[in-house]
Amino acid sequence: MDRGMVIFVGALLTFSSSWLGLVLYPYWQLQHEQPYKKDEGDIAYPQPLEGKALAGKKVYQQNGCLYCHSQQVRSEKFGNWWEDGVEKTGSDIRRSYGLRRTVSRDYIYDNPTMLGTMRTGPDLANIGVRNPSEAWHHTHMLNPRSANEWSIMPSFAFLYTREKIVGSRSDKALSLGREWTVKPGYRWRPSSKEWDEILARRGETIVTQLLGGQPTDFDTKTPEGKTRLLELWLTSPEEEYQVLPTGEADALVAYLLALRKAEVPLPEAKE
């Protein structure tokens, strides 16, 4: 019985001291952190997420982006590489992951914070500054291989729809060649037999469309000519179909563009 009491008190002390040290004390220390303004007239940093970007944060959470992407910039003291036999540090800043390291104030409006632990892909704390192109993010999300052939990021094609064009092509349609849009999520290419069939059916239209009646340096009847024509055709957009972002894809990209941490200097983030 005596020993039971010792075990109970010991366990209680162990758990309560870690709770005090790791939860309560940091909470007490950081609870009053305020956005930063260098001068009275400045816009406060950070700004809370709003509207589409806020909705996009949910999509980011739901799709597990966190498992491969961190949102924390390491200080100049960390992240080493070797150059001419000399060890250097600060690889995150060098890769433009942010202007400076991130500190707790960067996250005051993030609930939950999405610091992440893995960097299978690059850090995204500052992606809105590093790559502000909405179109690039959509084509990359539809199929990361369309942007970087070597990418191992999964395709998020289920956040897009492929529709028959009624009237004219929508402004929001992704501008990608048919190799990426015939089967969203995959790279499509007809077999040589299928290509022959397509050519037999619509060869002349395809040649006129792609080459516009211009004289070419290749003969589209020879095997090499056919292959070159196929390459051109695959990178041209589909005539009848378009790929559009769903509301979720739109929100996700708005969220990525709003990720602008470590953009403003903070007095507590010295290195």
Where on the chain is the footprint of ligand HEC (CB under 6 A)? 60, 63-65, 67-69, 120-122, 124, 127, 130-131, 137, 144, 147-148, 151-154, 156, 252, 256
Which of 233, 255 has the CB closer to ligand HEC? 255
What is the smallest separation between the CB atom of 186 and ligand HEC, expressed in angstroms? 16
Q: Do the Cβ atoms of 54 and 259 come closer than 8 Å?
A: no
**DSSP 3-state of 234:** helix
Which of 17, 133 has the CB closer to ligand HEC? 133
What is the smallest separation between the CB atom of 65 and ligand HEC, expressed in angstroms? 3
Nearest alpha carbon to residue 241 among 132, 154, 164: 164
What is the smallest separation between the CB atom of 174 and ligand HEC, expressed in angstroms? 15
Q: Give dist(CA 162, CA 185) in Å, integer.
A: 11
In angstroms and rounded to an integer, the radius of gyration of the C-alpha atoms of the chain is: 26
Q: Give dist(CA 174, CA 151) in Å, integer.
A: 19
What is the smallest separation between the CB atom of 97 and ligand HEC, expressed in angstroms? 8
Which of 148, 246 has the CB closer to ligand HEC? 148
Q: Do the Cβ atoms of 60 and 252 come closer than 8 Å?
A: yes
Three-class SS string for 108-146?
CCCCCCCCCCCCCCCCCCCHHHHCCCHHHHHHHHHCHHH
What is the smallest separation between the CB atom of 60 and ligand HEC, expressed in angstroms? 6
Which of 89, 131 has the CB closer to ligand HEC? 131
What is the smallest separation between the CB atom of 42 and ligand HEC, expressed in angstroms? 28
Q: Give dist(CA 91, CA 22) in Å, integer.
A: 29
Which of 113, 205 has the CB closer to ligand HEC? 113
Which of 58, 202 has the CB closer to ligand HEC? 58
Sequence-ordered list of residues with C-beta below 8 angstroms from that of 144, at least 6 positions apart, any chain? 151, 152, 153, 154, 155
Which residue has its beta carbon closest to ligand HEC?
A: 121
